[in-house]
A and B are shown apart, each in its own frame.
Chain A
């Protein structure tokens, strides 16, 4: 199964690129993500709770980054194993293009599911994959752009640390990057 879409993000391409490589951003954006750790060189280990049709399971998986052409393209590939629920794996080729409003993020995803997930959930899988991809990139856009002026209260991405002391209107990513820089 293949999916493709583009999202326009109001941020410079270098910022978007960096966000794609940041574990905490990925964790915040990956729907159902419970744990995520790692780095772009070795890849990321993730634990994701998902319900697809009648199958609900915790998927443990590894995501690797490859074919990196900074700052314009990279491939994310991974496999998640959900035990008796089956497995899902896929690869996403992500491209970043500079546009006047910022960056156009395009992706082509190929997803394969197996086991019970395929047996019971196959007809849902296309819709679910669309929804999850959409959720991921919508959150990613929010994280990178920061909450909009009109939507400050509700824009905090799910799973992100509550940062009540953060200045209003400043991008969450900016804070994250700042914190990371301080830590290093």
Chain B
């Protein structure tokens, strides 16, 4: 019988009551007395020399308080990059400056040039139109390969070229990999594009800066996935505010998908301007503005080659990827195509030799950074596509080819520097074949044929690295931060408790699942546990939420803190019952002495802790509050197998996703309903990438798909009902909950399944020349592929 509370129960999401009744409190809902409004003047051209910004007309407009330009930020730091990648030759990446407001040059459409601050948002917006920006246009650098031409214009004049880094992984294996290709029985090569995506969180970004001249405290309310990281980056590197004088609050946040990890110019601006003007300054992003100012995702161009022996055993894998950084290095941009991508190229397979080459390139486009999956979708897509192509070329069933190469013994050290702790790839694949009813495919194919439709079945596996990350390891890899997580558990006198976590919830349901874990450990009702997050003033230093890390890392810190609470509570209980602490058992919220009928309730102990009349004060401090930090000693490795069935209309090329099945191994599950929801959302995003979404620039660097008229988000009728299973669990061996993380899997595992399915449909219909179609698989592209 399914559990009705605690770990493993599908407890209803407590946060939904406020979200669904309009009672959420988002950053834009916060309004401070005397608040002024900012409007950003942004570059309309992709590349040019900034020759003049005339603010005089704007300053004379009604309600205008001040117009800021790049000159106001002389002496203010630029936006920092949080990861230093070292190239194949041992040299540090080229790291250009990233000013808060453009100085000297503009480098992408949307680059902020000036900001008007006025009494109202409308006045600021009107006055922004009167700011005269003079730009001498320069040729835009757009195509990544052309950008590396020695004669290409420079995005950053101070750099020697547009190459951020040329990364080789594992560089020492390069010669051996090349040699393996020389002798391989079969080599499959695939050129593909993993297109640029716009994250499109439901809530656009907002920043509200405040300054108290009496205390000299600054506060920033912002739409962030990691308020402590913003406090550190903005305080230490941009504005020079010590952390104890800077508070960052990220209240309810309406989705992030990675795009709200990064420290953005608008946050620094509002904090800075509030101090300058002695007034709170608020900026609310419009949807149009989000398209050209939120960091984008993906944008890789890849050649992947797979060497196999005559039996289809993988001998070696070699990739060359050009990864677009955009115009500036966003906070974690350099790490995405390298450490979050190259390390996953082994996939679920025992390929002995792997070499990954990534050239990260600056272009006159919006910066690119982590977006749901962040490097792992790019790795999974190319690997699972090339395996599918190899299977077809060699006449081996794609399921069988994968099984033949599965890693089956754990722990397993891959040739790309990670060690998988657990997994059972055959089990998830078997489960997938069952829930996707692969055996019934032929009948469905016949049915589609009878209606004149082409039908295809696509399958793939995936693995990802979550639970980011062991600090010492990532420090060696160039991270400029630790990636532990924290929790403080504060038990109140009457037994209720508050967990203050450094993780941040922006849709994931932490307030529900975290409460389930703590309530389960103590044996009290979930309603006795409150989860507090998102405010640096009342939560311990934490690194935030991304990389499917919150339960694996933040949850582990919470477990540790709760264990400390339980240990202390047992000592108090032992005192109350005049027993030895080691004889105390805690079950269902009751402390008892083993082998006796003596017991005290949870509430008796908590009350004693705060009203210590009968209390061992000489041995124990009063109170019941504990803090713990947890630094993982490995990544976690969720894995699974996905299947997609599509119908293709031969007349129009339109693809309809008929069914989608996902068998995931997330280790232990705290809330199955929430996990399924995360998978559903991820698959919808993956189907969006596979069929619909693309950020397109024209030859001049103008973003053409800059609104929902042209950027096609998946809608309800674009996705099927999903069949999701996460029963094939191999618990993580190195965190206390045995959990692996589920937030990104859907977006990582689903694009190759869709593309594999469409190629399969076309192949079955006799279009044998179609071995790949680049995403998004729009009707035009599929139709063109069918025409040869």
Contact = CB atoms under 8 A, between A and B. Distances in A.
A83 interface: yes
B706 A87 contact: no
A112 B700 CA distance: 8
A114 B288 contact: no
Interface string B354-379: 00000000000000000000000000
A118 B704 CA distance: 6
Nearest to A112: B700
Interface in B677-715: 698, 700, 702-707, 709-710
Interface string A49-65: 00001000000000000
A119 B702 contact: yes
A112 B701 CA distance: 11
B105 to A, nearest CB: 16
Contacts of B288: 116, 119-120
Given A87-B44, A114-B44, A114-B45, A119 B706 contact: yes
Nearest to A120: B707
Interface string A106-117: 000000111110
A53 B125 CA distance: 21
A83 B126 CA distance: 10
Contacts of B707: 119-120
B292 interface: yes
B655 interface: no
Contacts of A115: 44, 109, 702
Contacts of B710: 122-123
A118 B129 contact: no
Contacts of A122: 698, 702, 704-706, 710
Interface in A112-171: 112-116, 118-120, 122-123
B709 A118 contact: no
B128 interface: yes
A153 to B, nearest CB: 40
A119 B125 CA distance: 18
Nearest to B696: A122
Contacts of A116: 44, 288
B425 interface: no
Contacts of A123: 704, 709-710
B328 interface: no
A118 B45 contact: no
A86 interface: yes
Nearest to A86: B44
Contacts of B128: 84
A119 B129 contact: no
Contact of A114 (B129, B291, B702): B702
B706 A84 contact: no
Contacts of B703: 118-119
Contact of A120 (B125, B129, B706): B706
Interface residues of A, number: 15
Interface string B117-137: 000000001001100000000
B706 A114 contact: no
Contacts of A118: 109, 698, 702-704, 706
Contacts of B709: 53, 120, 123
A53 B706 CA distance: 13
Interface residue tally of chain B, by bracket?
Answer: 10 to 19
Contacts of A120: 288, 706-707, 709
A118 B108 CA distance: 14
Given A84-B128, A87-B44, A119-B292, A113 B706 contact: no
B504 to A, nearest CB: 30
Contacts of A114: 44-45, 109, 700, 702
A118 B292 CA distance: 12
Nearest to B710: A123
B198 to A, nearest CB: 11
A176 to B, nearest CB: 36
Interface in B35-71: 44-45
Contacts of A84: 125, 128-129
B698 A119 contact: no
A56 to B, nearest CB: 13
Interface in A64-118: 83-84, 86-87, 112-116, 118
Given A83-B129, A114-B109, A114-B700, A119 B45 contact: no
Interface string B280-291: 000000001001
A113 B705 CA distance: 13
A84 B710 CA distance: 20
A114 B710 CA distance: 16
A36 to B, nearest CB: 22
Contacts of A112: 698, 700, 702
A170 B447 CA distance: 71
Interface in B437-492: none
B177 to A, nearest CB: 43
Contacts of B704: 118-119, 122-123
Contacts of A83: 129
A112 B46 CA distance: 13
A122 B709 CA distance: 10
Nearest to A113: B702
A84 B58 CA distance: 13
A2 to B, nearest CB: 11
A119 B695 CA distance: 11
Interface string B309-352: 00000000000000000000000000000000000000000000
Nearest to B43: A115
Interface string B561-587: 000000000000000000000000000
A152 B704 CA distance: 43
A78 B700 CA distance: 17
B193 to A, nearest CB: 20
A86 B129 CA distance: 10
B638 to A, nearest CB: 37
Nearest to B697: A118
Contacts of B109: 114-115, 118-119
A82 to B, nearest CB: 10
A120 B45 CA distance: 15
Nearest to B703: A119
Q: Interface centre among B292, B704, B705, by most A CB within 10 Å?
A: B704
A85 to B, nearest CB: 9
A123 B696 CA distance: 12
15 contacts: A53-B709, A83-B129, A84-B125, A86-B44, A114-B109, A114-B700, A118-B698, A118-B706, A119-B706, A119-B707, A120-B707, A122-B698, A122-B704, A122-B710, A123-B709
Given A116-B288, A119-B288, A119-B702, 18 more contacts: A84-B129, A86-B44, A112-B700, A112-B702, A115-B109, A115-B702, A118-B704, A118-B706, A119-B109, A119-B292, A119-B704, A119-B706, A119-B707, A120-B288, A122-B704, A122-B706, A123-B704, A123-B709
Interface of B: 44-45, 109, 125, 128-129, 288, 291-292, 698, 700, 702-707, 709-710
The 3 closest A-B pairs by CB, nearest first: A119-B706, A115-B44, A118-B702
